[in-house]
Amino acid sequence: MQTLKGPALFLAQFAGDVAPFNSWDGITRWAADLGYRGVQVPTTDARLFDLQLAAESQDWRDEFLGIARQNGVEVSELSTHLQGQLVAVHPAYDAAFDAFAPAALRGRPAARQEWAVAQMALAIRASAAMGLRALPTFSGALAWPYLYPWPQRPPGLVEAAFDTLAARWRPLLDLADTHGIDLAYEIHPGEDLCDGASYEMFLDRVDQHPRACMLYDPSHYVLQQLDYLANIDIYHDRIRAFHVKDAEFRPNGRQGVYGGFQPWVDRAGRFRSLGDGQVDFGAVFSKLTQYGFDGWAVVEWECALKHPEDGAREGAAFVRDHIIRVTPHAFDDFAAGCVDSDAIARALGLAEEVA
């Protein structure tokens, strides 16, 4: 068993144009002051990070990591959720997802995809050069608009979508393998890798690639009514990253899992700050510890009600209190005696047979 690292904080929801959230020095000082020991870095926010320099310049990396350490935090992982999303985009979402790409690429889906793949390659190289092990990302989606089978899906549609998704990701998975980096796909509605069944469809098409791993976030499973604890039992050997995020599901006579097109605050399923939702984090941390997960416990703040700075402050203490420092010995070691083969034979009533 291993003791999880943490607490860490995903910075994507906090970066902004006002100090201390508008600079790498400021935001890392702020996170450390709240009690965080690590930060997960969004690679698309130029106020905090330069992906090109991170992949190409040792001097830049040394300065970047040095500022973090001086302020009291480590970099837990880089995040490429937005670039991963753009590796595969169904045309129905072109306009919405264009905002994730540089302005010059908007309205140009093929060029946008090429840019996203190049960004992923840079992030893989940067992660390796920074001594990191996992790269959280999204898979993107081609089949997602056809999730509910009405009208009936044409035979072969889902298979073709997953074949294409796998073909786009396979070179990146091979590159990640070369550099010793696990791609940790966040299993997330809106992505074709949205649950365990779809993740396994992808694994089958990339030949169970050892770098096709998982970011575990129980909040998305609560909203799908998926057993988030059994999910750890099934996929623990693939879990390489962990978002600590809470959620609640309160179905009623008007809406359930699909939410009825309501805003987050009025949905039956909604994200909450840590401790305000329904996730049994005591059980989650216990299972991850039991299976030897030794990565970072990263707070991802998303809440329909609470102020983000309050959520961040409370989240640091929440994770710290849930991390289990593993025991170096069994609790009943005090009762152990000095045992040899003769003693074992006597204990089993086999002494005369052995003699």
The per-residue pLDDT for range 169-214, each reduced to its tens digit, is 999 999 999 999 999 999 999 999 999 999 999 999 999 999 999 9
DSSP string, 36-74: -SEEEEETT-TTT--HHHHHH-HHHHHHHHHHHHHHT-E
Q: List, in sequence order, every residue forming a beta bridge with 42; answer none if it has no partner.
A: 79
Q: Which residues contact 268 (CB under 8 A, 6 or more apart)?
A: 249, 250, 251, 252, 255, 256, 257, 259, 260
pLDDT given at position 352: 67
Amino acid at 159: E
Looking at the predicted structure, is the pLDDT value of residue 294 above 60?
yes
Least confident of 33-42, 86-95, 243-252, 331-340: 331-340
- Segment 339-353 shows an average pLDDT of 80
Q: 1 falls in which pLDDT band (50, 70, 90)? A: confident
Looking at the predicted structure, is the pLDDT value of residue 126 above 90?
yes
pLDDT given at position 191: 98
325: left (phi over 0), alpha (psi -120 to 50) or beta: beta
Is pLDDT larger for residue 352 or for residue 340?
340
- Segment 146-159 shows an average pLDDT of 96
pLDDT given at position 336: 72
User: Largest alpha-carbon pair distance within the chain?
Assistant: 86
CA–CA distance, 144 with 195 (Å, rounded to integer) = 12
Tracing tokens 């600590």 back to the chain, one arrives at 244
Q: Which residues contact 284 (CB under 8 A, 6 or more apart)?
A: 218, 228, 229, 232
The per-residue pLDDT for range 10-64, each reduced to its tens digit, is 999 999 999 999 999 999 999 999 999 999 999 999 999 999 999 999 999 999 9
- Segment 298-327 shows an average pLDDT of 96
Q: 340 falls in which pLDDT band (50, 70, 90)? A: confident
CB atoms within 10 A of CB 343: 12
- Segment 225-253 shows an average pLDDT of 98
> Percent of the chain scored above 90 by pLDDT?
91
pLDDT given at position 342: 84
CA–CA distance, 285 with 167 (Å, rounded to integer) = 35
CA–CA distance, 195 with 35 (Å, rounded to integer) = 33
Geometric angle at alpha carbon 190, from 55 and 156, rounded to 5°: 105
pLDDT given at position 141: 98
Looking at the predicted structure, is the pLDDT value of residue 335 above 70?
no
- Segment 316-331 shows an average pLDDT of 90
CA dist 206 → 164, 173, 174, 200 (Å):
11, 9, 10, 10
- Segment 236-265 shows an average pLDDT of 97
Q: 334 falls in which pLDDT band (50, 70, 90)? A: low
Q: 354 falls in which pLDDT band (50, 70, 90)? A: low
- Segment 295-317 shows an average pLDDT of 97
Task: Please state, rounded to an integer, the average pLDDT across all residues of the chain.
Answer: 96
Token output for 47: 């106020």
CA–CA distance, 9 with 32 (Å, rounded to integer) = 10
pLDDT given at position 327: 80
Helices (H), ranges, 240-307:
281-290
Going from the N-terminus, what domains does the chain have, and what CATH number goes with each? 5-354 (3.20.20.150)
Residue 286 near residue 4, CB atoms below 8 Å: no
DSSP structural state of residue 250: -
Least confident of 58-72, 147-161, 189-203, 337-351: 337-351
Residue 277 near residue 248, CB atoms below 8 Å: yes
pLDDT given at position 328: 81
The per-residue pLDDT for range 90-124, each reduced to its tens digit, is 999 999 999 999 999 999 999 999 999 999 999 99
CB atoms within 10 A of CB 17: 7
Residue 5 near residue 324, CB atoms below 8 Å: no
